[in-house]
């Protein structure tokens, strides 16, 4: 059982064992958490019409009073959920949760706008607000229990957030940026395979946006390069990295990252040469002369002017008599 899970169980048990009483009716909204409304006499923020209730919520938000804003907005959603004022009430809830630092709950509140009120005129703004929230988690913000207690950082959850943004508005202005951030989140958790896939989707789907496509293709090369290095130098992945960098240079020759891509290609090819030379040595030590010669020749093809190429030529000449003996 993980330490995180044990800590969570102890924390929940401690809270449940504490005596408390609710001073007012409690209501729960999935993804947003609990809120309460006064019991008994009518509070001074309560109104009998949805329009008037929204005016109270908006004025309270303008005054910086998120407590009243949340009460008034939640009341609209509970009593007048199908009114024309409900989408704005839900939006105000998201804004207040952001102000209070409850980013995950705010993200979910905005998600409710997208799911329940897809024709809201704030749809695009809501996607951007979700993007800003997901970026905060990408930059290290902790996910919290009940919106209060910091528990953990998670690039997996962060990638999921960016994925929801793309799903909700695949051709919105924010979607290309969110798709790229999925790749960044996967890179941070060292899941280079999924990072490459995310960047490839961005480059393909948004190929008509040069800034996005160039960034995606360059990042794809970088992710492949990291993956190759992480696997005790994977020759196949190194080749994919070179291919990605090469495509990037060909399609975006004026991009300021071209020199960096060219430098990476040189480094990758040098590592390929070294890798093939070591494989050739392994075959030679195993007395598999034909296999050794194949990989020494691969060294010559990759870079005929390298130091390893000179050594490879020497070994090929030295192995020729053995090859002739073996075939005879």
pLDDT at 289: 87
Encode burial over 274-303: b for 16+ CB neighbours within 10 A, e otherwise: bbbbebbeebbeeeebeebbebbebbbebb
From residue 204, give the alpha-carbon distance in Å to each of 176, 199, 213, 217, 247: 11, 9, 7, 9, 13
Average pLDDT, the chain: 87
The answer to whether 133 touches 142, Cβ cutoff 8 Å, is no
pLDDT at 147: 72
Q: What is the pLDDT of residues 286-313, one digit of tens each?
A: 989 898 899 889 888 888 888 888 998 9
pLDDT at 305: 87
Task: Extract the tokens encoding 233.
Answer: 């130098």
Q: Looking at per-residue confidence, does 132 or 145 come out higher?
A: 132
Rounded to the nearest 10°, the torsion over CA 285, 286, 290, 291 is: -90
Residue 13 has pLDDT above 70, yes or no: no
Cα–Cα distance measured from residue 77 to residue 30, given in angstroms and rounded to the nearest whole number? 13
pLDDT at 15: 46
Domains and CATH numbers, the chain: 22-121 (1.25.40.10), 142-255 (1.25.40.10), 276-328 (no CATH)
Q: At what angle do helices 103-116 and 123-138 cross, to 10 degrees?
A: 150
Cα–Cα distance measured from residue 234 to residue 108, given in angstroms and rounded to the nearest whole number? 41
pLDDT at 9: 53
Residue 209 has pLDDT above 50, yes or no: yes
Encode burial over 219-249: b for 16+ CB neighbours within 10 A, e otherwise: bbbbbbbbbbbeeeebeebbebbbebbebbb
pLDDT at 323: 77
pLDDT at 41: 42
pLDDT at 313: 92
The answer to whether 93 touches 109, Cβ cutoff 8 Å, is yes
Q: 175: which residues sit within 8 A by CB, 6+ positions away?
A: 127, 165, 166, 169, 206
Q: Looking at per-residue confidence, does 288 or 1 come out higher?
A: 288
Q: Looking at per-residue confidence, does 20 or 179 come out higher?
A: 179
pLDDT at 19: 46
């Amino acid at each position: 059982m993980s330490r995180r899970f044990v800590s969570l169980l102890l924390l929940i048990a401690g809270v449940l064992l504490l005596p408390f009483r609710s001073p007012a009716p409690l209501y729960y909204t999935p993804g947003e958490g609990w809120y309460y409304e006064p019991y008994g006499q009518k509070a001074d923020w309560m109104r009998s019409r949805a329009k008037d209730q929204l005016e109270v919520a908006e004025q309270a938000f303008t005054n910086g009073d998120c407590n009243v804003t949340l009460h008034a907005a939640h009341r609209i959603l509970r009593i007048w959920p199908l009114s024309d004022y409900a989408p704005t009430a839900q939006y105000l809830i998201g804004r207040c949760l952001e102000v209070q630092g409850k980013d995950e709950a705010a993200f979910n509140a905005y998600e409710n706008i997208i799911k329940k009120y897809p024709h809201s005129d704030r749809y695009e703004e809501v996607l951007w607000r979700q993007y800003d929230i997901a970026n905060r988690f990408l930059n290290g913000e902790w996910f919290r229990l009940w919106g209060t207690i910091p528990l953990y950082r998670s690039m997996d959850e962060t990638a999921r957030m960016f994925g929801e943004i793309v799903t909700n508005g695949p051709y919105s202005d924010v979607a290309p940026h969110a798709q790229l951030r999925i790749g960044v989140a996967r890179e941070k958790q060292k899941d280079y395979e999924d990072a490459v896939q995310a960047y490839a989707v961005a480059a393909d789907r948004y190929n008509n946006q040069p800034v996005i496509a160039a960034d995606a293709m360059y990042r794809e090369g970088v992710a492949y390069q990291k993956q190759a290095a992480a696997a005790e130098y994977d020759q196949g992945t190194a080749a994919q990295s070179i291919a990605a960098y090469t495509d990037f240079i060909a399609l975006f020759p004026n991009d300021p990252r071209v020199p960096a891509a060219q430098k990476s290609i040189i480094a990758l090819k040098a590592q390929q040469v070294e890798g093939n030379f070591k494989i050739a040595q392994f075959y030679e030590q195993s007395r598999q002369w034909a296999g050794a010669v194949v990989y020494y020749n691969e060294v010559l093809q990759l870079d005929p002017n390298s130091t390893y190429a000179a050594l490879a030529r020497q070994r090929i000449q030295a192995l020729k008599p053995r090859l002739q003996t073996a075939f005879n």
